[in-house]
Amino acid sequence: MKIGITCYPTYGGSGVVATELGMELAARGHEIHFISYAPPIRLTDTNDRIQFHEVEISDYPLFDHAPYALTLAVKMLEVAESETLDLLHVHYAIPHSVSAFLARSMAAPKHLPFITTLHGTDITLVGNDRSFLPITKFSIEQSDGVTAISHYLKQRTLEEFDIKRPIEVIPNFVNCDLYCRKENPAMRAEWAPDGEPILMHLSNFRPVKRITDVVEIFALVREKIRAKLVLIGDGPDRAAAEYLVRKRKLARDVHFLGKQNRVYQHLAQADLFLLPSDMESFGLAALEAMACEVPVVASNVGGIPEVIEHGIDGYLHPPREIETAARYALDILSRPDRGRAMGQTARINARKKYCANDVIPQYEAYYRQVLDAVTATHA
């Protein structure tokens, strides 16, 4: 199949999923065309089956805000025609789904089906800004296929948007061959020279991730045992986290790594992963840690309980309850054998449902289903 994939190329779960999906599909023989304003950040593997098409953002002086959704729609149509795409697959509804709708309309009478994958804030954001609701609802209803990355997100979308159409749940996935336990003593020693346990967090440091809670949880843990915290990623709350680290006098115990490629190499060194978010429709970073045999202490919000089994491969706590989170963290870290066992169970559970080898065929089957339905409608 020839598939056009659009996503946000920057640091963020939806872009990561879209990029990994494109690379996995290409490895299975499909031709992938990424269409966005910049190459996706995790696009490490380019070959003759993966192309990137840049959407140029107009800087015409009349525009205070460049009309990206329109330029994207035109680019989608151009690529669809020049590369004879079978379908467009857009990740994150706003505005990608609307652009795909426009591209499909412009392509008529030729069929250019589009599938929208919902990731989370594209749905939950409208709770805060109702002005997005009508257009998001419209683009979801108009899509030839819609997938959500968790049952939680599907349910929330149906209820919040009063949508009657079917939504397929295809969960996030991880490459289980790449994401696995490969300890690197040199890397561990760099962060924890005296063999201290390593806590880790990876995100885009947006307010929803509660980075300062990560630091507070670590501070409570550090009151009881010697430990180190490794923070991967960057974003608006980094400065607040750095300030808090200094305030708690933890500068020697906390490492800020910034944005990193090949995060599996880092995750595989952790003894515990923290994800105390206010909301996660899935929690991809938690799954990536689990595949690396790292138990996770996370908030019991959104789709996280679909990924982590409380008391089995990690612990769940109410959001913002840092004392509870710290107690669970100490429970795991103060009994290393139990922590290792939980980590091994985490990988087993991650493999059961979320390995790329099992999830990518679900996307392929869904593509075929959508294409067959479109062909039957227009026959």
Q: With binding defined as CB under 6 A, does residue 280 bind ligand GMT?
A: yes
Q: With binding defined as CB under 6 A, does residue 14 bind ligand GMT?
A: yes
Burial class (CB in 10 A: 0-12, 13-18, 19+), 273: buried
**Residue closer to ligand GMT, measured from CB, 92 or 218:** 92
| 207: three-class secondary structure by DSSP | helix
DSSP string, 9-24: -SSSHHHHHHHHHHHH
Burial class (CB in 10 A: 0-12, 13-18, 19+), 377: exposed
CA 307 to chain centre: 13
Q: With binding defined as CB under 6 A, does residue 179 bind ligand GMT?
A: no
> Which of 208, 229, 298, 326 forms a contact with ligand GMT (CB under 6 A)?
208
Q: With binding defined as CB under 6 A, does residue 235 bind ligand GMT?
A: no
CB of 139 to ligand GMT, least distance (A): 16
**Residue closer to ligand GMT, measured from CB, 17 or 332:** 17
CB of 23 to ligand GMT, least distance (A): 16
CA dist 230 and 289 (Å) reads 13
How many helical (H) and strand (E) elements, i.e. helices and strands, does the chain have?
Answer: 15, 13
CB of 15 to ligand GMT, least distance (A): 6
Q: With binding defined as CB under 6 A, does residue 13 bind ligand GMT?
A: yes
> Which of 281, 306, 315, 332 forms a contact with ligand GMT (CB under 6 A)?
281
CA dist 171 and 151 (Å) reads 9
For ligand GMT, the binding residues in 297-356 under the rule CB under 6 A are: 302
> Which of 5, 284, 326, 333 forms a contact with ligand GMT (CB under 6 A)?
284
For ligand GMT, the binding residues in 139-158 under the rule CB under 6 A are: 149
Q: Report which residue type is found at 127.
A: G
Burial class (CB in 10 A: 0-12, 13-18, 19+), 324: middle
Residues near ligand GMT, by CB under 6 A: 12-15, 17, 92, 119-121, 149, 172, 203-204, 208, 279-284, 302
